[in-house]
Amino acid sequence: MNLARNIERLIAYASINHAGVIAIGLAIGKSASYGVMLYVVSNAFIKAILFLTAGKIKAHYGTKDTREVAGLIKDLPYSGAFLMVGTFALLGFPPFGSFLGELIILSGLVRAKQITVFVVFCTFIALSFVATGRTIFPMIWGEPKREVHWPRQSFLASFPKLAFLVALVAMGIYMPKPVNALFREVAASLGAE
């Protein structure tokens, strides 16, 4: 099965992109270390949301093939919404912690006068958005392949993903002082020179 057609592999291979972002952030040093921390923790939450959702989709449709899944927002509204929001977070959209982390790393590149790396970084972000969107968004909003009446999805089953989502948004908007202090302390140890 093609990489872009297997939802679990598609999510897993996004880690390669994230490893590159983290490596660039670590290479910049102290000015980007807080962004690296936000990015790493945010991506742990994002992956939890997306893999839990992919598991539900696989159990429901009986396949990992993205071509076989369409109209997810109608068939499994909670899973469709979590896949959509998780994809936006994965791609670094606001108001998620991944956006703030990427923004801090990008500003670190500008401060370090690494304009070529900045341009390449932005180009890869754009390519990642297009490639991921071409696969994921038809799954969410496309026309269902077959007319099937599925049992209603329970909101309670979505609670773990909702908890991860709340933490992800909180990291992008407001973090409690003790958590922020912990992040800053770990970031300071990462950026030590």
DSSP per residue over 55-96, as a string?
HHHHHHHS--BGGG---HHHHSHHHHHHHHHHHHHHTT-TTS
pLDDT reported for residue 108: 93
pLDDT reported for residue 146: 63
pLDDT reported for residue 24: 92
- The model's pTM: 0.84
The two three-digit tokens of residue 42, written as one number = 């945010």
- Measured CA to CA in angstroms, residue 19 lies from 74, 174, 191 at distances of 34, 25, 17
The two three-digit tokens of residue 70, written as one number = 């369409």
pLDDT band of residue 63 (cuts 50, 70, 90) is confident
